[in-house]
Amino acid sequence: MSLGMIRRTKQREAITAVLTGTDRPLTAAEVYKRARLRANSLGLRTVFRRLKALLEDGRLVKLDYPGQPPRYEWVDGHNHPHFICHSCAKTFNFKKEAPDVPYAPPPGFHIKGQEVVFYGLCPTCGGE
């Protein structure tokens, strides 16, 4: 079912508002916590169903990094690097678009995308 055909509800709108109104990728738990401030009857299952629907519709991208819970980010059409803080484990977006890395893969491999990730400390945790 396309998102255009889904009935609008306060819960769905709260989840979408949280995802489009943030400047960094969020875990499902973070989406749930923030969306409950807008729709207090929201359940965690509803968050997961909505995240799945948004992923299937191509409006959301799921970021899977080793040792991190999956994070979700609204698709903005730009390939930007991410930063993961070693202290608080939050993931942040860098606004500048990631450069293309020229790489010739082995025969039979076809690159569909790339991910640039930086690690360190965010400003809150002691970065400069």
Domains and CATH numbers, the chain: 3-74 (1.10.10.10), 78-128 (3.30.1490)
When pLDDT is cut at 50, 70 and 90, the band that residue 19 belongs to is very high
Per-residue model confidence (pLDDT) at position 127: 61
Higher pLDDT, 105 or 120: 120
> What does the DSSP 8-state code read for residue 24?
S
Q: By C-alpha distance, which of 53, 104, 48, 111 is closest to 79?
A: 111
Per-residue model confidence (pLDDT) at position 103: 72
Task: Say what the pTM is.
Answer: 0.74
43-91 pLDDT, tens digit per residue, is 999 999 999 999 999 899 898 888 889 999 998 777 778 888 989 988 8
How crowded is residue 126: how many other Cβ atoms within 10 Å of its Cβ?
11
Residues sharing a CB contact under 8 Å with residue 12, sequence separation 6 or more, in sequence order: 6, 46, 50
Distance of CA 66 to the CA centre of its chain: 15
Cα radius of gyration rounded to whole Å, the chain: 17
- Assess whether pLDDT exceeds 70 at residue 128: no
Per-residue model confidence (pLDDT) at position 82: 86
| Cα 34 from Cα 29, distance rounded (Å) | 9
Per-residue model confidence (pLDDT) at position 2: 46
3-12 pLDDT, tens digit per residue, is 444 567 899 9
94-118 pLDDT, tens digit per residue, is 877 766 666 778 899 887 767 788 8
